[in-house]
Amino acid sequence: MRNKLFRKTDLIIILTVALAALIFILWQRSGKTPLTADISVNGKTVESVDLSKVTDRVEIRPEGTVDVLIVAENGRIRFEFSDCPDKLCVKQGELYRKGDTAVCLPEKTVITVRGSELDAVTY
């Protein structure tokens, strides 16, 4: 008797689940909600950037920090440089989804991405 690794039904189930996951990921990424990035230093918002309108590179050096460079471009924002020793804020990468947050603790600087208050409209 010969044992097969996959039966036909196993393969169909695996492909169905993979296709459903792909559709879900594409559906989530297709949401075009306007995003705003709030930059806070010592708990006070010093600047807000409308990420939905940013296409070219915008460099931001928040007041109240010693040496922090934040860059916004193509609807994304990130810490590009910080004088902190561990550079965890720089390693965080780009922020582009509602709820994304990056923090530079030594400089007490926080970037938070928020979306529109209204997610859906029902008639």
- The tens digit of pLDDT for each residue in 63-106 reads 877 789 999 998 899 999 988 888 899 999 999 888 899 999 88
* 3 domain-assigned: no
pLDDT of residue 30: 67
Do 65 and 79 meet the contact criterion of CB atoms below 8 Å apart? no
Q: pLDDT tens digits, residue range 17-39? A: 999 999 988 877 666 678 899 99
Which residue range(s) make up the domain with 60?
Answer: 36-114
pLDDT of the residue at 119: 52
Q: Is residue 88 part of a domain?
A: yes
59 forms beta bridges with 71
For residue 104, being part of any structural domain is answered with yes
Which residue is it, tokens 């460079």? Answer: 69
Count Cβ neighbours within 10 Å for each residue of 17-30 and write b for 16 or more, e otherwise.
Answer: eeeeeeeeeeeeee
The domain that holds 78 is classified in CATH as 2.60.320.10
Task: Identify the pLDDT of residue 18.
Answer: 95
* Domains identified in the chain, total number: 1
d(CA 111, CA 93): 12
| 54-71 residues labelled b (16+ CB within 10 A) or e (exposed) | beeeeebebeebeebbbb
Residue in 89, 52, 46 with CA at minimum distance from that of residue 65: 46
Tell me, yes or no, whether 14 lies in a domain.
Answer: no
